[in-house]
C-alpha cells in the first residue's frame, strides 16, 4: 500500500470553495477536530448559497431556496433544529408509521371555472398514484430489470391509467383523475428538479432515500440553522466576494510557488487576482456551476471520466413565485390552492403557456399573506425573463379563472427566484437523469490525489455528491462532513504511524 505521505503535520491549510451548507459543514468539522487553518472562499457577499431567507417586517419570512427539513430520523439538520428549539412541531410517534403523509383536508384542488374537485376523488387518485410511485422506487431497491433509457415519467404515465381503467369510476371521475395525473407529474418535477418526469431515470428513481418522519418547517427561517453552524467557525475563516477562477492542483500547472505549501499542494486563484495556497481544497460549488465551468476551473483539467459524469448528471431549474396580498382572499385555514387543468389543456404548448407549469400556490404560516407557487424546467427558465408586473398579471388572471372570483386584487408585492440565471448556481438541484450511470455521483465525489499517494488534494462536496440525499440540505451537510472526515482521518492516521 502507498504511504499517506503526510508527515505528521497537524497544521494543514485547507481551502473550501463555496460557503453553502456543504462548505460551512466541512469547515465546522475541521475546526472541531483541531484542523483550524481553514479558509472558506465564497463568491457572493453572503453565506448560505441555496439557503437564502428573506425577512419582510415581523410576519413575513420567505425562503428563496431550501425550506423544509425532510424527515427526522437520521437527519442531522432536524437534530440541530430540535436541539435549539427551532421546530414548530415535534415528530409524533404515529407519524413514523406513515412517513410524509400529505394532509389534504386543508388543500383545495380547483379546476377552471371555480370547480372544486371532491376530496374523496383526490384521495382515491393518490392511493393509486402512490402505489405506482412505490413501484418506481422498487425498481432500484429490488434491482428489477429495466432498460437504461426508461424514465419514471413514462412508467407512471403507462401504469396509472391501467389502474384507473380497473376502477368502477364513472367516466367524468376517470377524466378528473387523468387531469390529476398530469397535475401530480408537474408537482413531481418540482420535487425531483427535472423539466419533465420523462427525464428522470426509472432505474435510479429509488436511489434517493426518504428519511422517516415529517417534512419540518423552521418558523425562524433556514438562515438561523446556518448561523448556528457559522458560530462554531472563527469569523476569519470566512472570506466573501472571493470568486475562485482557477484551481491549480498539480505541480506542472502552477505558476507561483511563493508558499511552502504550493510545492505539493494546490493554488487557488480568485477573480480579483489573490492566490491562496493550500494542502487540500474542498470544492463545494453546485453541479450546475461545474457543468458550465469545470473545463476552465481546474488546471490541469479534471480527468475525462469525472467530466463525463458531470455532463451526464441531471441538474434542473425549480423556481418559486411569491405573491403577497394586502390580506388573504382565501380561507385562512386553507394551506394550498391547486390549479388542476383539464387533461387536454394541462401541458404548456409553448413558452407563452409557461404559467401552466405552476401547479399550485401554497400558504405558509411563515408568510400568511403570501401565496407561494412552484415552477420547474424550461418554463421556470422562461419565467425568469419576464417582469414581476407581467408575472403578477398572469397569476391574478389564473387565480380568477380557477377560483371563479372576479374580485381578486393585484398583489402588493411580487417576487420570484431566478436560480436558472444565477451564475453561481446555474440551476436549482440535482436529479438522476435518464442514461446516468449509477456510480456517476460517486465518480464526481471521488477526490483527486497527489501523484502516487493516497493524499487527496482536491475533494468534492455539495448536495450533488451525496448518493442518497442529493438535492437536499442534509445531503449537502453530510457531504461536507464526509470530506472533512477524510482529512481528519488522514492526519489522525499519520499521527498514529508516527508514534
Ligand X SMILES: Cc1cc2nc3c(=O)[nH]c(=O)nc-3n(C[C@H](O)[C@H](O)[C@H](O)COP(=O)(O)OP(=O)(O)OC[C@H]3O[C@@H](n4cnc5c(N)ncnc54)[C@H](O)[C@@H]3O)c2cc1C
- Binding stretches for ligand X (CB under 6 A): 17-23, 41-44, 49-51, 65-68, 70, 243-244, 284-286, 289, 318, 320, 417, 419, 424-425, 428-429, 462-463, 471-473, 476
Among residues 53 and 443, whose Cβ is nearest to ligand X?
53
- Long-range CB pairs of 254-260, under 8 A, 24+ apart, other chains included: none
Nearer to ligand X, 67 or 403 (CB): 67
User: How would you label 150-180 residue by residue, b for 16+ Cβ within 10 Å and e otherwise?
Assistant: ebbbebbbebbeeebeeeebeeebeebbbbb
Q: Shortest gap between Cβ of 281 and ligand X (angstroms)?
A: 11
Task: Give me the least distance between CB of 204 and ligand X, in Å please.
Answer: 18
Q: Any idea which residue has 448556481 for its cell? A: 425
Rounded CA gap, 301 and 242, in Å?
21
Rounded least distance, CB 422 to ligand X, Å: 8
Q: Which is nearer to ligand X, 49 or 153 (CB)?
A: 49
| Residue among 76, 97, 188, 213 at smallest CA distance from 137 | 188
Instruction: Rank residues 177 and 474 by Cβ distance to ligand X and give the closer one.
Output: 474
Min CB(77)–ligand X separation in Å: 7
Residue with the CB atom nearest ligand X in the bound state: 20
Q: Nearer to ligand X by C-beta: 348 or 480?
A: 480
Q: Shortest Cβ distance from residue 22 to ligand X (Å)?
A: 3
CB 51 within 8 Å of CB 223? yes
Q: Which of 297, 236, 249 is nearest to 271 (CA)?
A: 297
Q: How far is the CB of 189 from ligand X (least distance, A)?
A: 13
Lookup result for grid cell 413558452: 351
Answer whether 315's CB lies under 8 Å from 429's CB: yes
Indicate the burial class of 68 (C-beta count within 10 angstroms; 0-12, 13-18, 19 or more): middle
Least distance (Å) from ligand X to the CB of residue 476?
Answer: 3
175 or 424: CB nearest ligand X: 424
Closer CB to ligand X, 292 or 400, in the complex: 292
- Which residues fall within 8 angstroms of residue 363, CB to CB, at 6 or more apart? 328, 330, 334, 335, 336, 337, 370, 371, 372
Amino acid at each position: 500500500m502507498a504511504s499517506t505521505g503526510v508527515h505528521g503535520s497537524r497544521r494543514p491549510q485547507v481551502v473550501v470553495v463555496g460557503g453553502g451548507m456543504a462548505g460551512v459543514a466541512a469547515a465546522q468539522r475541521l475546526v472541531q477536530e483541531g484542523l483550524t487553518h481553514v479558509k472558506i472562499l465564497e463568491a457572493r457577499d453572503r453565506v448560505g448559497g441555496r439557503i437564502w431567507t428573506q425577512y419582510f417586517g415581523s410576519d413575513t419570512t420567505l425562503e428563496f431556496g431550501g425550506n423544509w427539513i425532510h424527515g427526522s430520523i437520521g437527519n442531522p439538520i432536524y437534530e440541530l433544529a430540535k436541539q435549539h428549539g427551532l421546530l414548530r412541531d415535534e415528530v409524533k410517534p404515529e407519524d413514523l408509521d406513515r412517513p410524509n403523509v400529505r394532509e389534504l383536508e386543508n388543500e383545495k384542488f380547483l379546476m377552471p371555472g371555480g370547480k372544486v374537485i371532491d376530496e374523496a376523488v383526490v384521495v382515491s387518485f393518490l392511493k393509486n398514484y402512490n402505489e405506482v410511485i412505490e413501484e418506481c422506487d422498487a425498481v432500484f431497491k429490488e434491482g428489477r430489470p429495466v432498460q437504461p433509457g426508461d424514465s419514471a415519467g413514462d412508467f407512471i404515465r403507462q401504469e396509472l391509467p391501467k389502474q384507473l381503467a380497473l376502477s368502477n369510476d364513472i367516466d367524468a371521475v376517470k377524466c378528473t383523475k387523468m387531469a390529476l395525473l398530469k397535475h401530480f407529474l408537474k408537482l413531481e418535477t418540482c420535487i425531483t428538479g427535472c423539466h419533465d418526469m420523462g427525464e428522470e431515470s426509472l432505474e435510479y428513481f429509488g436511489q434517493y432515500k426518504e428519511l422517516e418522519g415529517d417534512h419540518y418547517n423552521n418558523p425562524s427561517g433556514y438562515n438561523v440553522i446556518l448561523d448556528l453552524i457559522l458560530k462554531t467557525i472563527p469569523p476569519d475563516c470566512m472570506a466573501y466576494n472571493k470568486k475562485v477562477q482557477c484551481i491549480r492542483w498539480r505541480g506542472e500547472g502552477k505558476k507561483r510557488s511563493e508558499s511552502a505549501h504550493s510545492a505539493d499542494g494546490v493554488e487557488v486563484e480568485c477573480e480579483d487576482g489573490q492566490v491562496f495556497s493550500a494542502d487540500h481544497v474542498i470544492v463545494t460549488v453546485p453541479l450546475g456551476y461545474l457543468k458550465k465551468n469545470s473545463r476552465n476551473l481546474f488546471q490541469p483539467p479534471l480527468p475525462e471520466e469525472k467530466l463525463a459524469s458531470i455532463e451526464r448528471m441531471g441538474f434542473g431549474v425549480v423556481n418559486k413565485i411569491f405573491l403577497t396580498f394586502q390580506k388573504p382572499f382565501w380561507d385562512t385555514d386553507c394551506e394550498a390552492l391547486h390549479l388542476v387543468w383539464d387533461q387536454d389543456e394541462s401541458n404548456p404548448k409553448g413558452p407563452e403557456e409557461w404559467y401552466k407549469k405552476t401547479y399550485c400556490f401554497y400558504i405558509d404560516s411563515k408568510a400568511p399573506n403570501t401565496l407561494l407557487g412552484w415552477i420547474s424546467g424550461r418554463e421556470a427558465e422562461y419565467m425568469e425573463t419576464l417582469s414581476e408586473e407581467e408575472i403578477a398579471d398572469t397569476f391574478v388572471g389564473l387565480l380568477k379563472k380557477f377560483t371563479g372570483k372576479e374580485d381578486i386584487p393585484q398583489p402588493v408585492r411580487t417576487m420570484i427566484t431566478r436560480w436558472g440565471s444565477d451564475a453561481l448556481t446555474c440551476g436549482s438541484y440535482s436529479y438522476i437523469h435518464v442514461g446516468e450511470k449509477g456510480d456517476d455521483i460517486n465518480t464526481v465525489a471521488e477526490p483527486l490525489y497527489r501523484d502516487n499517494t493516497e493524499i487527496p488534494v482536491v475533494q468534492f462536496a455539495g448536495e450533488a455528491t451525496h448518493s442518497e440525499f442529493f438535492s437536499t440540505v442534509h445531503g449537502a451537510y453530510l457531504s461536507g462532513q464526509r470530506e472533512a472526515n477524510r482529512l481528519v482521518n488522514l492526519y489522525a492516521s499519520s499521527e498514529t504511524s508516527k508514534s
